[in-house]
Structures are given as C-alpha cells and as structure tokens.
Structure 1
Amino acid sequence: MTMTLTLSKPKPRFSSPALERGLLLLPLPVLLLIFYVLPFIGVVGWSFSLPTPGLEQYERIATDPAIHDMLWRTLRLCLTVSVLALVIGYLLAYCWVFSPPFWQRVVEICIFIPFWISVLVRAFGWLIALRSNGVLNNGLMGMGLIDQPLQLSRNEIGVVIGMLHVMIPYAVFPLLSSMRQLDQRILMASRGLGAGPLRTFWQVLLPQTLPGMLGAFIMVFVFCLGFFITPVLLGGGQTVMIAEYVFLQMFQTSNWGLGAALSVVLLLLVSALIWVLLKMTRVNRLVG
C-alpha cells in the first residue's frame, strides 16, 4: 500500500512588503497633517482674513519702519551669533578630533553638560551673571579692570551671549561629523610633502570641511530665527526679535493677522534656508 501526500498551496497574500511598510509609516504623515499642516493653513488664512480680508498685513510688513527695524535686528543678531558659533564650534570640533584623549574628554564635558541644561535655566543664569552687580562685573571691578559696572544685560550684548551659549553645540556636531569623515592620511601626505601646519589647514583641512561649515552656519541661523526665551529675558524688552514680536502682536495687542503674516514670512525664510542646505550639502555628511 502506498500513501500519497498532497501539499496544499499557500494561500495568496493580499499584502506586499511595500504596502506593509506604507501602513507602518502611515501614522507619521497623519500626525504631520494634523499637528503641522492644518494649523499652518489656519495661520495662512488668518494672515489674509484678519482683521479684514486682503493683503493689508503683508503691505504693512513691506512698509512699516518699526517692523523693518525689528527684522533687521533679528537678522543682525542671527548672523552675529551664527558667525561666532561657527568660529568657536570649529575650534572645539578641531580639538575634539585631533587632541589627545584627555583633552577630548574635556571638550566633551564642556559641550554636553551645557547642552543638557534647560534653555530657561541657562537664560536665568546669564541674567544673574551679566547684571550690574553680577558675577562678571564684580569680578572685573575686583581685579581693577573697570571702575563701574558694564551694561551687559537688557541689550544686544546679553542676547548674543545667551544665544551663543545655547547654539555652540549645534555648530559643533555638523563640524565634528565633517572632520571625522576626513581621511587623515591626506593631512599626513600634505605634511610629508613639505606643507606646514598653517598651509595644511588652509589648503587641505578647511576646504574638506566646508560642507560641515555651511551646514553648521545654516542650522544655527535657522534656530536663532525662532529664539524666544533668551531674547525676552536678556533683552529685557529692549531687543525684540521676530518670535517675541509675533507673541506681542497675538497675545498683547490682539493683532492676530499681523502675527500670522509674520509667522508665514518666517516659515518661508526658514524653508528657503533649509532648501539651500539640502541643495549645497549632503545630509549624511552633516549627521554622520
């Protein structure tokens, strides 16, 4: 007697790997649509409809000298902080990559400990340190370097110091990634061919890290455009930037149309900068 075994065919599957991946990723675009796209559409609608329908708010942005002063102040402070953060971040990233292990740990501590502290706590710390009877002024007067306290808070100097302290780590990380991807044998070859340290830096290291420099600059600049807590506390109402100005228009003067229009302009500017970043650099070189 012989027995025959029949193998049943597997049931056809109605799903494909692409469909399964799409279903797994579906919550992300849904959340983006609910929490970002729809509110932004509402803000755009306010900018064209409040208090009356039309382009009144955008015309005011184009013609109001007070708004122009605020915008130029915002751009000036953002550029200043971005350049300073780029220079200091480049030095820290260079020390982090090319220093002995002990100094690498020191640089890590100097970067990560402030990075883990709340922005609000850091702003209050700088407010205490920079005030007329603060630690810095008392120290300078105690050493005889100044006769009277310097005005370091409630002005642009204090805002720049506070923003710079927050932004330096964001400049270091893209630069660090760019330097770590550099083949150090190129630097050794340059030195072996007779180039000195300075020439090796200017002609070999600096050009190789330009994508990281551009990415760090744009990243810091974009973050600075949206700063709110630090300018409010350290500026003391004397250094109003665009984020604070939008807040004042919406929640103190109830001019929701102008605040919405400025928000749209800010978002368009940030989107343009991000587009430049994506076009001129490779994201994988910035994030490692």
Structure 2
Amino acid sequence: MNGRTPARTALLLMLPLLAFLLFAYIVPFLGIARWSVTEPEPGLTQYAKLGSDPLVQSVLLRTFRIGAIVTLFSVVAAYMITYVWVRGKRWQRRLAAFCILIPFWISVLTRAFGWLALLSNRGLLNTWLQAAGIVSQPLALTGQEFSVIVGMVHFLIPFAVFPIASSMRGLDERVLLAARGMGASRLRLFWSVFVPMTLPGIAGAALVVFVFALGFFVTPAILGGGRSVMMAELVYIRMFQSPDWGLGAALSVTMVAIVALTMALLFRYAKPALVGGAK
C-alpha cells in the first residue's frame, strides 16, 4: 500500500501537465493529421506529393543538408567550449560559462537580426571591408545558405554543450591517469581515450541539435531571404501565403514523425549522457 501511494500521488501531480499536453499539442496535431488526408479531397495524395513534387523534394533535401552541416559545426564548437568549461582553469571555466549562458538570455529573433546587421550588404562586415579597401563591392553574405548556417550554429551551440558536459563530468579519472601512466602523450590520450569515452555525449548533442535544426523557422526566414527555404518555412508558406492546407499538414506530420524517430534514437543511444553522464 505504501508503495502505491507515491505512484498515485505522482500521477495526480502530473495530471495538469498531461491535460495541458493533450489539449495544447495532441488535439491540434490530430486535427493537422486529419487535414493531411482530407484536404482538398480524402486520400493520401498530399503524402504522394512529398515524393513527387520537385519543390518539396528540394526543400526536404536542403533541410536535411543544412541540418547535417549545422549539427557538425555546432557539436565540434560545443565540444571545444565544453572541454574548457569542464577541465580548464578557474578563470577559463568562468569565461566559458559566461559565453554559454549569455545566449540563452537573447531571443532567436534578436540574434537573427544581429547577424543580418553584421552580414548584409550595408552591414558592419561589408562596411569595414570596403573601408579597408579589401573589397570594392559588398560581399553577398545574406540570402543564402551560408548566413542561415552561421545563424543556426550560433543559436544551437549552447544546446549541444550540456549533453557533452554531462558526459565529460561522468568520466572515470582513473582511466585517464592509467593511460597517462602507461606513457600516452596528451594528444594520444585525448583522441584514443578521452574522446571515445565521451561519445554518448557527442551523440546526444548531435541528435538534440539535429532535431532543433529540422524545425528552425525564424533564422532561415530572416537570413535566407526566401532563397533558402526549409521545411518549417515551407509549411508556413503553404498554410498562410499560398493556401494548400493539405500539403502543409502532410509536411507537418512528416516533420513530427522524423523528430519522433530522432528522439527515439536519442533516448536509445544517448540516454546516459542526458541523465547523468557516462558510467
């Protein structure tokens, strides 16, 4: 009886959250799923378009390509920052923590416009380059994938830090000392022992970043200038600008399915790094 009471109490405490999730997410998603098979007529026509429409295919490929590139650069940068944050000197750890936490206080919209002000034709970077005589004409840095990738990487690096930090903090220092005692150089110790032991954190960070990247909307819309449309922006266009609710709904359901699969992989292969570090 005593064992059941805490479980029942926990369930009662979770009921408000479960009710909120049901009415705020599940019910609307079911409505979107219904649109995907009923608009403009019943059937799976809209899902067939996902594999036959050249525009949809190009957007899907661009989304996965940008997502993969952003994931690579974000995880590499996050790994270097996390290494300093976890194993650096005291002042280095404080500086790294400051650099990690400050971005969380700045909205994605503000950061996107900040990059636009920096990279646009009349932005700070082009102004400095022209004033220094390095270039005669402004560089086209916005309205393409380059600026989208830069903005997304800048936003997602902090999210990649925490799974990696959890994995690094869970390392068994005795293994590192043993490798050092057997004559391993610092470089050999890092690549052959340290990095393999933090692979769960790397995998967790990569999956977290990739999931975020798939659903990005604000940054690609502002920095891409309509030339680097990703899945989330295409859903918005189909829903509100050139109404095709069926296709927009089908794209939404497909995105949710991809994210669900990625999250399943995340908890299957990177759970140790997310719940307390590698053991």
Provide TM-score, normalisation by structure 2. Answer: 0.94
Q: 1:213 to 1:49 in 2, by over 3 A?
A: same
Q: Which moved more, 1:207-216 or 1:189-198?
A: 189-198
Q: 1:230 to 1:48 in 2, by over 3 A?
A: same
3-state SS, counterpart of residue 236 of structure 1: coil
**CA distance in structure 2 between the aligned counterparts of 1:281 and 1:191, rounded to whole angstroms:** 27
Give the corresponding residue for 1:19: 8
Correspondence for 2:241 among 229, 245, 252: 252
Q: Are 2:165 and 1:176 aligned?
A: yes
Alpha-carbon distance, 1:25 to partner: 2.0
Alpha-carbon distance, 1:23 to partner: 2.0
Q: Are 2:243 and 1:262 aligned?
A: no
User: Which one-letter code corresponds to 2:273 in the other structure?
Assistant: R
**CA distance in structure 2 between the aligned counterparts of 1:96 and 1:206, rounded to whole angstroms:** 16
Q: Are 2:62 and 1:73 aligned?
A: yes
3-state SS, counterpart of residue 232 of structure 2: helix
User: Which one-letter code corresponds to 2:215 in the other structure?
Assistant: G
Give the corresponding residue for 2:100: 111
Alpha-carbon distance, 1:49 to partner: 0.2
Q: Which moved more, 1:221-230 or 1:15-24?
A: 15-24
Correspondence for 2:118 among 126, 129, 132: 129
**CA distance in structure 1 between the aligned counterparts of 2:117 and 2:7, rounded to whole angstroms:** 56
**CA distance in structure 2 between the aligned counterparts of 1:21 and 1:99, rounded to whole angstroms:** 40
3-state SS, counterpart of residue 143 of structure 2: coil
User: Which one-letter code corresponds to 2:214 in the other structure?
Assistant: L
Q: Are 2:211 and 1:222 aligned?
A: yes
Correspondence for 1:237 among 206, 211, 226: 226
**CA distance in structure 1 between the aligned counterparts of 2:210 and 2:165, rounded to whole angstroms:** 18
Q: 1:145 to 1:187 in 2, by over 3 A?
A: farther
Alpha-carbon distance, 1:138 to partner: 2.4
Q: Are 2:269 and 1:280 aligned?
A: yes
Say whether the 8 Å CA contact 2:204–2:273 is kept in structure 1.
no
Say whether the 8 Å CA contact 2:74–2:153 is kept in structure 1.
yes
Query: 5 Å matches for 1:182-193?
Result: 182-193=171-182
Alpha-carbon distance, 1:60 to partner: 1.0
**CA distance in structure 1 between the aligned counterparts of 2:15 and 2:139, rounded to whole angstroms:** 56
Alpha-carbon distance, 1:199 to partner: 0.7
**Deviations along 1:234-262, whole A, 9 cap, x unmatched?**
00111100000000000111111100000
User: Which one-letter code corresponds to 1:25 in the other structure?
Assistant: M
Say whether the 8 Å CA contact 2:164–2:273 is kept in structure 1.
no
User: Which one-letter code corresponds to 1:253 in the other structure?
Assistant: S
Provide TM-score, normalisation by structure 1. Answer: 0.91
Query: Matched residues, percent identical?
Result: 48
Q: Are 2:172 and 1:200 aligned?
A: no
Listed as ranges, the gaps of 5+ residues in structure 1 are 1-14
**CA distance in structure 1 between the aligned counterparts of 2:8 and 2:252, rounded to whole angstroms:** 37
Give the corresponding residue for 1:211: 200
Q: Highest CA radius of gyration, 1 or 2?
A: 1
Alpha-carbon distance, 1:16 to partner: 4.0
3-state SS, counterpart of residue 138 of structure 2: coil
Q: Which moved more, 1:241-250 or 1:19-28?
A: 19-28
| Total equivalences in the alignment | 274
